[in-house]
Structures are given as C-alpha cells and as structure tokens.
Amino acid sequence: MKLYSTKNPSTRVSFKEAVFNSMPQDKGLYMPVEIPRLEDKFLNNLDQFTLPEIAFHVAKSLIGEDIPDDDLKSIIHDAINFLAPIVKLEENVFVLELWHGPSLAFKDFGARFMSRVMSYFLEKGEKQLDVLVATSGDTGGAVALGFLGVPNTRVTILYPKCKVSDIQELQLTTNGQNIRAVEIDGTFDDCQALVKQAFTDKELKERFRLTSANSINIARLIPQTFYYFNAYAQMLKLGIDKVVFSVPSGNFGNIGAGLLAWKMGLPVDHFIAATNVNDTVPEFLKTGIYQPKPSVSTLSNAMDVGDPSNWVRIADLFKGDIAILKQLVTGYRYDDEQTLHAIKFIYDDYNYVACPHTAIAWQALRDWQQDNAKKDIAGVFLSTAHPCKFPDVFPESIAGKVEIPEQVAQLHKKRKHSISLGKDFDGFKEYLLKNG
C-alpha cells in the first residue's frame, strides 16, 4: 500500500511510515494512492461471510503485501473480537450497535486495530513506542484498552479534569501496566495543545519515539470500513439491498470510513451526516462554504468539534466531484433540547435507550425519511457508544433503565491512578522527562 499527503499528492510513503507518522510533515492527511474496487462476487455475496472474513478481505484489498495474510488475519482476530449487530426497531429503521467492544464505543474498532498494527511493525530491538493521546472521553478508553499489554509500547493519556464521565475516567485511570493517565487542570483543547507541542519539542523527540493515536491515523480509518460492509451483509440476510446510513459525526472519521467503503463498491444508497450544533459540515453541504468555528459544548460531547479533522479526507475522496458528494450525503444538526427529545422518543416508542450521539443519528434518519418521502428505504443509524457512558444526560426515568455491562461493574472495584498537572507545557515536559 502506498499513501500520499492530501497537501502534496506526489508524496509516497509506505503503510508502516504512514502509521507511525500519523500525520505527514506538511500537515495534510494520508490517503491511499489506490482505492480498489472490490469484486462483484464479493459484494453480492457479503451475507455469506463473517465479520472477521469481511474485515480480512477489505483490509487485504487496501493494505496489499505490507502485512502477510496470516499476520493480517491474526491482527484482525485479535483486534475485532466482538460483534457489531444490527437491531430492528421498526419497519425500515435499524440500529447498528458498534459498542460491543471493551471500551463500549465504536472507537474500539480503530484503536484496537491500530495498536496491533503498530506493534506488528515494531521490529525487535527497536526503541519503545510512546503513544501520546489527548481525549475528551471516548478515545482515551479505546486507546488505553487497545494498547494494554501490547509489547514495546507505552501510552500517556491526557484528559481534562472533571470533564469526562465517571466511567470514562475509570477506563482511563485503572489500567496500570503500560498505560498512564494524566489529569490536566484545563479543557480538552488544552490537552490537545500539550500533545501537539510535545511533538514539536526537540528534546522530547530525541529522547522518545513519539506517535499519536488520534483519529487521523490511517490505521484507525481502515477498520472502520469493516462494519459498514458487515452491516450491509446483515441487511442482505434480511432480504434488503437498498440502505441509507445515518452517522453521528464529530471529527468525521466514522462517516469518512463509510464513504471510503462506498468508493470501494459498497452499494450504499445515501449517507446522513448527523451533528449537534457544531454544524460546520451540514452548513457546508447546504451553502458550499466550509467555515470552521470554535467548538461548543453539548450533551453529545464526543461530537463537539468545530473543525472536523477528517473532513480533508472526504474532500479529497470527492475532489472535483463536490456535486456527487452533495448528492450522496445530507447533513442534519440538532441542539441539546432536540437530542433529549429524541432520547425520550426512542425510549417511549422502542423501549430502547440510545446515548445522546446515537439519538442524534436516529433523529436525522427519521427527518431524512420524512423530508424525502423515503420511508420505504431501509435506514440504519449507527450507535456509537453504550448509554451507560453518559449517565448524567438521561432523565431519571430512563437512567434507571440503562443496563450496566459486566466490564463496567468490574471497573467500579478498581482504583483510580492518575497524575495531576496544570496546563503549562513546561510542567508536562518535565513530567515526561522525569518519568521516561
């Protein structure tokens, strides 16, 4: 597999280089030089394959010879060791549950696959890989559990004090082994600024082999295509071959993977980009003007992104064909009141508890089906996290109905370990150097 930078289309790097660099020097994003179209024989018979089989076929088509078949198979079996079931809620309304992995969010797909690919590419005797990651909640848990016990790696997670939920904090701070958590007295943006500055600091770069685990890494994007193919396979099993996906979006990695799957031949009818009031992309789809804004805090905080980092990839996938992009993707945006209303509706009508991000995707699907008189097209909305991760969002009557999975019950028995730091870079740097 060869990749180029969106800022410099003539560059060529290997998959390994792209994974370790995460972002090119020129601050573009890596994209595959060739996006293979999968054979009709595979696409038409998706329902004959299991999730790991689909994942292998899709990954192999993209990655090619960079990872030999047996190694790629074992990476996939180890990383994607949980299911992504589709549940029918009513005629033509289905939910794709992407939170059956260890951190209870869809980010497990990307983080677990990426950690194993990185570990695979680390050669014997190579310097330990130091992964720095800033999180507003879900990324940190998925990355921590993805790298836990992976040889020759160490993860440092920065999270904003008092701004993640209790369960999220436990997921970040109770791992031990090669995972350490740093609680920053500041916001998520402060955490991200510290990580960014660390990557440009000469002394730190000499001392450590630093890499980032955020959602722009190409090794996080690839595994997210797997569940689109697998969801379509499940729909085929139900006798349905015309599908629209509604994707709750923040940094646009998730829907970006869906669009990549579409480019590879997955016959998706339409995509819906559902956001909270951080609506830079829905605005663009409406007006044609891409105007990033500072992010605004909402109940669906994993989507509080004013300048989605993966948008560049989507623009690149459709370069020159923005008209096609606009035909394929519709944007919708909702405020917190509408989000709560959707959560209540889903609970009352389907006896189903959806996390706030998921509820936004459902509302967007419903509105799209109504606005376009397309109630006869099967809609699948993506459920990106288990509701127990956002306990404060729900009214009491619904909160009591949220099931607590076994791994969360176990978390409550563990003790939090984290280091508290301010938001100044010098303190963070000193901590890294002293604890190297």
Ligand X SMILES: *Cc1c(COP(=O)(O)O)cnc(C)c1O
Catalytic site positions: 107
- Give bridge partners of residue 244 from the DSSP assignment: 270, 379
3-state secondary structure of 205: helix
- For ligand X, which is the closer residue by CB, 53 or 307? 307
Residue 359 · residue 348 · CB < 8 Å: no
> Which CB sits closer to ligand X, 28 or 253?
253
- CB 228 to ligand X: min, Å: 13
Number of separate helices (H) and strands (E) present in the chain: 19, 14
Q: 291 CB contacts (<8 Å, ≥6 apart)?
A: 280, 283, 284
306: DSSP letter: S
Pick 107 or 116: Cβ nearer ligand X: 107
Q: Which is nearer to ligand X, 230 or 384 (CB)?
A: 384
Shortest distance, CB of residue 309 to ligand X, whole angstroms? 8
Q: Which residues bind ligand X (CB under 6 A)?
A: 105, 107, 138, 215, 248-254, 302-303, 357, 384-385
| Residue whose CB is less far from ligand X, 130 or 363 | 363
Burial 37-53 (b: 16+ CB within 10 A, else e): ebeeebbeebeebebbe
Q: At closest approach, how far in Å is the CB of 384 from ligand X?
A: 3
- Tell whether the torsion through CA atoms of 194, 26, 125 and 149 is positive or negative: positive
Beta carbon of residue 330, minimum distance to ligand X (angstroms, whole number): 16
For 173, the token pair is 């701070």
Distances (CA, A) of 181 to 157, 226, 318, 390: 5, 30, 39, 20
Nearer CB in complex with ligand X: 75/303: 303
| Residue at 328: amino acid letter | L
- Three-state DSSP class for 80? coil
CB of 17 to ligand X, least distance (A): 23
Helix, strand or coil for residue 210?
Answer: strand
Closest distance to ligand X from the beta carbon of 347 (Å): 18
Both tokens of residue 191?
Answer: 């955490």
Contact between residue 381 and residue 358 where contact means Cβ atoms under 8 Å apart? yes
